[in-house]
Structure 1
């Protein structure tokens, strides 16, 4: 008797493979055929889980965003971690972070023409502002204008990430972390904005 198939796990695995292909070669690299080949499945098996390429790509985006969320949550669960270092996980400071940002950047232009993807990106952006809000409250309990400062923090992180992704030689992890800390202090002090 064959072992039962965990369909949700298989769906997540396929989305992860699609995300890896996007990170390595852009959206064009994540065809149903390429995903199936890398997974060792037939294209029919992939289309069993995703009606079309667009659905698979959206699942790949979610997979990467959920992966980043899990990394943040793992660091936040460690009560010994410095609160501001939790937000560093949103930067491309390691291979997981670089892969995530390569995927995110592939989708940003599409959101301009795809309402569902735009909604998805707005949700994840609001989620990231929530993470910044939570983190800044921990780091600076007396903070005022928390919503504005959390939004500013996310903007700073995104700007650093963009520079680091496109100019990695000049933006090593140490520089990203240092500039994030400087931005955080300026945002909290209210000298930016």
Structure 2
């Protein structure tokens, strides 16, 4: 509940303007309750970042578990195409600038990126097996390209939302996956 409130506050106000009092108010608790569960503001912010990533992975897992999905539909879940994913990805983006100055935050972001890369790799292997196509020899590089492309789309869609609606995000991702031979 507190981490969820922190996600919402960070997405609305940005990382630097986020205050414990705002998080507590939104969570419906006192600031004392926040500090009871978290050692400091950084611990709350870290929990928010973890929750933001978990939100993305949960959406990807739900689509993947349906069994009737394409690699494309799983990867789309990372894009800010609805309120939930826009909120989660706003938190993700807020922490990247902080990671430039704080090695601990950089380590967290790198760890989360490895998790994201592994998920893309896992789903790409399943995709290739389902379609009976060869798994790329340079699988890790292909997955890095996909994650970099999606990260770029996320940034564009968050910074220039009016020019990057869901339809455009989907189209650009689909075009890229087609260009690299992953969609028919």
What is the TM-score when the length of structure 1 is the normalising length? 0.86
Residue 83 (structure 2) pairs with residue 91 (structure 1)? no
Give the secondary-structure state (helix, strand or coil) at the position aligned to 2:46.
helix
* Residue pair 2:20, 2:31 contacting (<8 A) in 1 also: yes
Moved more, 129-138 or 90-99: 129-138
SS at match of 1:27: coil
Q: What stretches of structure 1 of length at least 5 have no aligned partner?
A: 1-12
The yes-or-no answer on 1:39 pairing with 2:27 is: yes
Aligned counterpart for 2:178 among listed residues 181, 185, 193: 185
Contact 1:23 1:103 in 2 (8 A): yes
* Stretches of structure 2 lacking an aligned partner (at least 5 in a row): none
Would you say how many aligned residue pairs link Structure 1 and Structure 2? 177
Distance of 1:35 and 1:67 partners within structure 2: 18
Is this contact kept in 2: 1:84–1:135, CA < 8 A? no
Deviations along 1:98-123, one digit per CA (max 9) or x if unpaired, are: 11121111111111122221111111
Q: 1:117-147: per-residue Cα shift (whole Å, max 9, x none)?
A: 1111111111111121122223334121111
- The corresponding residue for 1:157 is 150
Match of 1:14 among 2, 26, 48: 2
Rounded Cα–Cα distance in structure 2 between residues aligned with 1:164 and 1:44: 36
In the alignment, the residues of structure 2 paired with residue 109 and residue 116 of structure 1 have an alpha-carbon distance, to the nearest angstrom, of 13
In 1, the alpha carbon distance for the partners of 2:15 and 2:151 equals: 21
Bigger Cα Rg:
1
How many angstroms apart in 1 are the aligned matches of 2:120 and 2:180? 12
RMSD: 1.4
Distance 1:113 1:162 in 2: 20
The residue number in structure 1 matching 2:11 is 23
Please tell me whether the aligned partners of residues 117 and 144 of structure 2 are also in contact (alpha carbons under 8 angstroms). Answer: yes
1:71 and 2:64 matched: no
1:171 aligns to 2:164 (yes or no): yes
Aligned to 1:51: 39
**Aligned position for 1:143:** 135
Q: Secondary structure at the match of 1:131?
A: helix
SS in 1 for 2:162: coil
8 A contact 2:78–2:85 mirrored in 1: yes
* Partners of 1:126 and 1:187 in 2: CA distance: 21
